[in-house]
Amino acid sequence: MKSQRTLLARSFLVQGSWNYRTLLGTGMLWALLPLLRRGDGDETAARARLGRNGEHFNAHPYLTPVALGALGQLERAGEDPERIRRFRKALAGPLGSLGDTFVWAVWRPVCLLVALTLATLAIPPLLVAVAFLTLYNVVHVGLRAWGIRVGSELGFRVSEALRRLRLPHWAERIGAVGVLFLGLLSGALTVRGLELPGWGLPWLLGGATFFLVGFTKGDLFRRWVPALALVSVVGGLLAGLVWPLG
Amino acid sequence: MIEPVTLGLLLLLGAWAALDTTSAGQFMISRPLVSGTLAGWILGDPATGLLAGALLEGMDLGGVPAGGARLPEPGPAAVPAVLAAVELGGGGGLALGLGIGVVWSRVGGSSMELQRRLNGVVTRGIEEGRITPRGIAVRHWSCLGLDGCRGMVLTALGIASVWALPSSLPEIWPLERGPTAALFVLPAAYSAGSLLRSWRSPLHRGALFLAGLIGGSFLAALLA
């Protein structure tokens, strides 16, 4: 239990030395250090153990605990090093794609949409931030804790637990909630925008146009979004110079 | 000019947001919605903090940081953005704050790339098993420390850029705060449309969006 708690705590810093050569590799090794210090006197084996656990590794950070738990258990059990290495390589891909599909593509934007909707409905600012952090991190911390537990218990068989978790299924369900909140946010913003004297209708038309272009073109023009904001700032200042207020 | 304690808190917040982006925790303190609100709270105006943070958030909605993708870093950038919005005030302050926020997000993204390259140098040799456990721990913590320093320097430079703005600049801005905020909702609307598209097969997408649209309009009218 103590080793699981240590791994969980260290999993929060596993990306601390993220680099383009080993990606998460060195962070994984650092997190596993307390479990790798076996002290059996075999210097060559100890170096090999450190080396293979610091090799290139990439996964979603919230699912990395699955790998940490499993690798820690297998190393302590003294499993065949080559088998551990192959397992480590095989695990990285699924942990990355499952996490990206569920957390980055769905869970985080849905939580943000909930928070933005609350903000538009004039909920007090600090409450909006706290509500977002609480909602988001219940799943975040829960995933990490679950990952350490199933990794430590199942070792080579963690893929069974990952299948049972059905993250793609939940991504689809929670994505549907996200669509609902995107609608709620759009509705609330529409009412707030129409309250602007003289600006309401043109703003609504502009917003609908941008939304539709985003919907039809997807990420095609995404990198121009910040540029558009900057052009708005510069254009507004120039307009203010040409037609000063008052 | 702000109090030294306030400045110190803003710098710490910037460092925390930078660390939270990748290196430590990823609790989403690094989202501009959160870091912006906290910066506003430190400056005594959480409502403006939330407004600026939410607008920066809207522009970044749906960005996926998968596989070390090169993305902007809006968390620490929200701190100088909110400082500008609060200190300069009005529509001009908000517009200039958002402009600074957008530019500083890009600068932050580039600095993150440099940080990752530096981490590669600091941790060289670890995967060959040449480094002792103590050496590994020292190198890992050094990378974390460097990332925190990066966030603090980034925030400090952002704050300096706010102070460097000519004092007459916000007065040139032709819009009040409400229409200014509305203007910056437009690029966010693109991101929102793009996000909806990315959810390819949620159940009954059109019906859910319509139900939300009606419900949101009703709620906003009710709470107006």
A115-149 tens-digit pLDDT: 999 999 989 999 999 999 999 999 999 999 999 99
Q: What does the pLDDT read at residue B168?
A: 87
Q: Which chain A residues contact residue B84 at CB under 8 A? A: none
Segment (H or E) for A78 = none
Mutate to test the interface with A, among B33, B60, B223 (most CBs of A within 10 A): B33
The Cα of A194 is separated from the nearest Cα of chain B by a number of Å equal to 10
The region of weakest confidence among A146-160, B61-75, B190-204 is B61-75
Nearest alpha-carbon partner for B50 in B66, B39, B63, B61: B39
Q: What does the pLDDT read at residue B69?
A: 64
pLDDT surpassing 60 at residue B216: yes
For residue B126, the 8-state DSSP code is G
B44 Cβ contact list (under 8 Å, min separation 6): B86
Q: What does the pLDDT read at residue B101?
A: 96
Report d(CA A67, CA A150) in Å as an integer.
10
Interface predicted TM-score of the whole assembly (ipTM), two decimals: 0.94
The Cα of A60 is separated from the nearest Cα of chain B by a number of Å equal to 8
Report d(CA B120, CA B152) in Å as an integer.
21
Q: What does the pLDDT read at residue A166?
A: 94
User: From the CB of residue B69, how many other CB atoms can be counted at a distance below 10 Å?
Assistant: 11
Mean pLDDT of chain B: 92
Domain ranges of chain B: 4-223
Mutate to test the interface with B, among A100, A126, A179, A237 (most CBs of B within 10 A): A179
The region of weakest confidence among A168-172, B154-158, B196-200 is B196-200
CA B88 to each of CA B153, B170, B209: distance values in angstroms, whole numbers, following the listed order: 22, 7, 38
- Determine phi and psi for A19, rounding to 5 degrees: -145, 165
The region of weakest confidence among A116-130, A193-207, B62-76 is B62-76
Q: Does B145 touch chain A (CB under 8 A)?
A: no
Chain B stretch 73-92, residues whose beta carbon is closer than 8 A to a beta carbon of chain A:
none
Chain A stretch 28-57, residues whose beta carbon is closer than 8 A to a beta carbon of chain B:
29-30, 33, 36-37, 47-52, 54-56
Q: Which percentage of chain A shows pLDDT scores above 70?
A: 98
Q: What does the pLDDT read at residue B203?
A: 63
A/B interface, count of CB pairs below 8 Å: 353
B10-33 tens-digit pLDDT: 999 999 999 999 999 999 999 999
Burial class (CB in 10 A: 0-12, 13-18, 19+), A93: exposed
Give the position of tokens 């959160």: B34
Please state the domain count of chain A. Answer: 1
Read off the pLDDT band of B88 (50, 70, 90): very high
Q: What does the pLDDT read at residue A42?
A: 76
The Cα of B190 is separated from the nearest Cα of chain A by a number of Å equal to 4
Which residue in B95, B126, B190 is closest to A29 by CB distance?
A: B126
- Minimal-distance CA residue of chain A relative to B104: A226
Tell me the average pLDDT across A191-199.
Answer: 85
Read off the pLDDT band of B60 (50, 70, 90): confident
> Domain span at residue A77?
2-195
What is the Cα B148 distance to its own chain's centre? 15
A75-90 tens-digit pLDDT: 988 899 999 999 999 9
Q: Does A134 touch chain B (CB under 8 A)?
A: no
Half-sphere exposure at residue B131, Cβ-oriented, CA atoms within 13 angstroms: 23
In this complex, do B212 and A240 lie within 8 Å of one another by their Cβ atoms?
no
Q: Which chain A residues contact residue B43 at CB under 8 A? A: none
Report d(CA A182, CA A180) in Å as an integer.
5
Nearest alpha-carbon partner for B79 in B109, B26, B42, B27: B42
Which residue in B57, B137, B185 is closest to A112 by CB distance?
A: B57
Could you give the 3-state DSSP secondary structure of residue A197?
A: coil
Confirm if A129 and B78 have CB atoms less than 8 A apart. Answer: no
Q: What does the pLDDT read at residue B67?
A: 59
Considering the domain boundaries, does residue A203 fall inside one? no
Read off the pLDDT band of A65 (50, 70, 90): very high
Token pair, residue B149, equals 């320093």
Q: Does A192 touch chain B (CB under 8 A)?
A: yes
In this complex, do A26 and B139 lie within 8 Å of one another by their Cβ atoms?
yes
In this complex, do B105 and A58 lie within 8 Å of one another by their Cβ atoms?
no
Which residue in B34, B185, B198 is closest to A105 by CB distance?
A: B198
Considering the domain boundaries, does residue A134 fall inside one? yes
B139-187 tens-digit pLDDT: 999 999 999 999 999 999 999 999 999 988 888 998 889 999 999 999 9
Which residue in A17, A191, A226 is closest to B140 by CB distance?
A: A17
Q: What does the pLDDT read at residue B202?
A: 62
Q: Which chain B residues contact residue A225 at CB under 8 A? A: 59, 187-188, 190-191
Read off the pLDDT band of A228 (50, 70, 90): confident
Report d(CA A62, CA A201) in Å as an integer.
44
Q: What does the pLDDT read at residue B201?
A: 64
Considering the domain boundaries, does residue A142 fall inside one? yes
pLDDT surpassing 80 at residue B68: no
A28-50 tens-digit pLDDT: 999 999 988 766 667 788 888 88
Q: What does the pLDDT read at residue B2?
A: 87
In this complex, do A17 and B187 lie within 8 Å of one another by their Cβ atoms?
no
Q: Which chain B residues contact residue A47 at CB under 8 A? A: 129-130
Considering the domain boundaries, does residue A211 fall inside one? no
